[in-house]
Chains A and B, each alone.
Chain A
Amino acid sequence: MVDTTVYINPTELLEQPVQLIQACIGGDRYSQSVLYEQFATKMFGVCMRYAKNREEAEEIMQEGFVQVFKSLNNFKFAGSFEGWIRKIMVYSAIHHYRTKPKMHMVVDIENAKAEDLGNEEIMSYLNKKELLKMVQALPPAYRMIFNLYVFEGMKHREIAAHLGISEGTSKSNFFDAKQLLQKAVINSLKIAKNY
């Protein structure tokens, strides 16, 4: 019994993104898997920032990629394809946040103390994973606002519209998120310096 399915070399598809996208629009699962493989790591990095842990990030990415394959025919081939996928991932994260029951955490930010250290110096003590963990440790609303403002470059007005909150709340939450992160950074630096 011989398998009659024709397999295409992934590199051939990657060299011709338009052909790959067209094949994905046509519902070719193999092409879809190639496309997924191409963007999975980058998009998972994005999803990790919006999630509190790996599992949640995987859920967001799963929903995001399903949406990508469903909406591929809406892609106009103008602008960055990666940017388009990233945008879908962000919207998937927002959707995930809005559909999950909200937890209102009481956050203590009184004990935060500032240390006059440069970013490069901090980076020499802390690696990316630690910083990511700090972001993930933020309360969901703070994490969402921080991500949208810092990484997506959204204005507080836009964030407020996306999350269904007031602009003032967005600003206030962002401020609190930064304080929490500063505190977390300071604590981590203390630990790192002690070692």
Chain B
Amino acid sequence: MDKNLHNIEDLFHAALDDNEETPSQNVWEKIDRQLDKDNIVSIKRKYTNLKRFAVMLLLLLISFALFDVYKINTLSKGNGLAKYDNSIKSDKQSKSNIITGKGSEKNTETNSAVITDTSSNINDRKDKPSPEDITTNNQKLTNQHQDVPIDKTQLQKLNKVEKIYSSKNIKKTQEDLTSNQKKKRNTKGSYRIKITSPDPVEDKESTDQNDYADNQIPYLPKKNTRPPEEDKLKTKDSTDTKKLSTLIVSAKPKIADSSNNTIAKTASKKTSKSSRFSFTPFFSPDIAWYRLQDDKTGQPDNASEIEKEEKHEFSSTFGILADYKINKHWGLQSGVTLSNTNITVNPKTIYAQQDNTGGVKYRINTSSGYGYVLPSFSTNPAIGDSLYAFTSTHSLQYIGIPLAVTYNITKGKFKFNALAGIAANILTKAKLEATLEKGFNNSIETLDNIRGLKKVYFSGLAGIGVDYKLTKKTALVFEPTMRFALNSINKDAPVKSYPMSFGFNVGLKIGL
């Protein structure tokens, strides 16, 4: 027993170590299919990476666009409205001081000075400040304002405000006041103004100074060109002065409100700037065709033969485009598109040939590439056997990433565009479907992998179009675009195909 056990492995080793057996044909076919499948998976993985990259780019673009919008909004609030809010606060504080006579110690020197000036003007003509005093105050104010950087826009706004308050015609001011009064008559807590004996000069000065104080605006000396003597003559009546004082105090909030509203509106208008980004979801029915070239010289005229056999069906492109405005006229355009091209092949006879694996199958040649089919009713053809193929269709699907430069001119609600650029087109689907017939047998064969197609090809873009502005941030887009292949879409195929299309892009542009 032991002896046999000891030897049994040697027996098997000697007998079976060099054992050879022939596997069935199915094994290679399965391996072939498995390798094809793995190739498709690897291509899909490559596409997955590309898709991830595209999504990341899109997210970055969106983030940048949102940041742009946020920045604009912040600037709008910070430089414009926010500063004027401070002015309004200051104005309210000043009013309070004037009415109660209790000037806050914490008030700015400027405010105190102006209040003093106002009191002096009304109650004590002797203490009326000379133009030099006012100038001094203005200088102080100017100094105060120097602490805060004033940009060009602010200065423009200030000039506007100045214009409002330095109107020479006090009547206009009064009219404004009256109209404001009328407008707000029914408003709770509104002021009523009754002007009995308006003194244009006195009113003007007082208003000017008070508004100056209220709005913290540098007062320009040139406005106060009247000689002090003239003021004295015109403000002798203390009753009128009191009334005038009341008028000023009561009118001030109106003026301030009015002015502040104007300022706010101006600021808002100036700072309400739209983002440089806009997005356009679009759809484009395409007229598609191609240019075919024989792959090798000296071969029979495959190109013209295929061209006669094939006919383009409905093709389309859709996607989303992102526009970035560089300046008034120029911009950049990118995005993601998905295009579908369908081509039918006229009924024709196909022949059995040896495929790349050495097996014999029926070969279908198309402009996109070729494929081998083995219908169930003819699984073992000989080279040269023929079948009748009718209603063959091949469909190609590409993801496109365009990059174009745009130029536009605005005319009223219309914006005329011209664009030129390139696009990388990544093959995502290539399908060949054929109905085969032999005698009474027929079968529909579908191939999901057309051989001889490149994974990526590049195309040029050129288009002109028009945008019709619907609202401030939306526009209807119509942009006929020509797309033409810069390199062929296939390799190792009987023909080289250069697809072209003319698409009627229709979309809705949404600004951020």
Contact = CB atoms under 8 A, between A and B. Distances in A.
- The answer to whether A and B assemble together is yes
Interface of A: 1-5, 7, 27-30, 32-33, 36-37, 40-42, 44-46, 48-49, 54, 57-58, 61-62, 65-66, 69-70, 112-117, 119, 122-123, 128, 131-132, 134-135, 146, 149-151, 175, 178-179, 181-182, 185
Contacts of B10: 119
A114 B3 contact: yes
Contacts of B7: 119
Contacts of B302: 1-2
Contacts of A123: 11, 14-15
Given A1-B494, A2-B299, A49-B19, A61 B11 contact: no
B90 to A, nearest CB: 77
B356 A5 contact: yes
Interface stretch (B32-40, B132-140, B454-462, B480-488): B32-40
A3 B11 contact: no
A115 B5 CA distance: 10
Contact of B13 (A30, A113, A150): A150
A132 B16 contact: yes
B66 to A, nearest CB: 44
Contacts of B14: 119, 123
B225 interface: no
Nearest to A49: B16
30 contacts: A1-B494, A2-B300, A3-B353, A3-B363, A4-B299, A7-B354, A29-B32, A33-B356, A42-B20, A44-B22, A44-B27, A48-B19, A58-B30, A61-B23, A62-B30, A62-B34, A65-B27, A114-B1, A116-B4, A119-B7, A119-B14, A122-B11, A123-B15, A146-B9, A150-B12, A151-B13, A175-B5, A181-B8, A182-B8, A185-B8
Nearest to A69: B35
Nearest to A29: B356
Given A3-B353, A66-B34, A181 B20 contact: no
B305 interface: yes
A66 B494 contact: no
Given A2-B494, A29-B357, 20 more contacts: A1-B494, A3-B363, A29-B35, A30-B358, A32-B35, A33-B28, A40-B28, A41-B22, A42-B20, A44-B22, A61-B27, A62-B31, A65-B31, A66-B35, A69-B31, A119-B7, A128-B19, A131-B12, A150-B13, A181-B8
A27 to B, nearest CB: 8
Contacts of B305: 1
Interface of B: 1-5, 7-24, 26-28, 30-32, 34-35, 38-39, 295-296, 299-300, 302, 305, 351, 353-354, 356-358, 363, 365, 492-494
A178 B9 CA distance: 7
A45 B7 CA distance: 22
Nearest to B358: A33
A150 B21 CA distance: 20
Nearest to A130: B15
A58 B26 CA distance: 9
A159 B23 CA distance: 27
B11 A131 contact: yes
Contacts of B3: 114, 116
* Nearest 4 pairs of A and B residues by beta carbon: A114-B1, A45-B19, A44-B23, A41-B20
Contacts of A33: 28, 32, 356-358
Contacts of A116: 3-4
A1 B32 CA distance: 25
Contact of A30 (B5, B31, B296, B356): B356
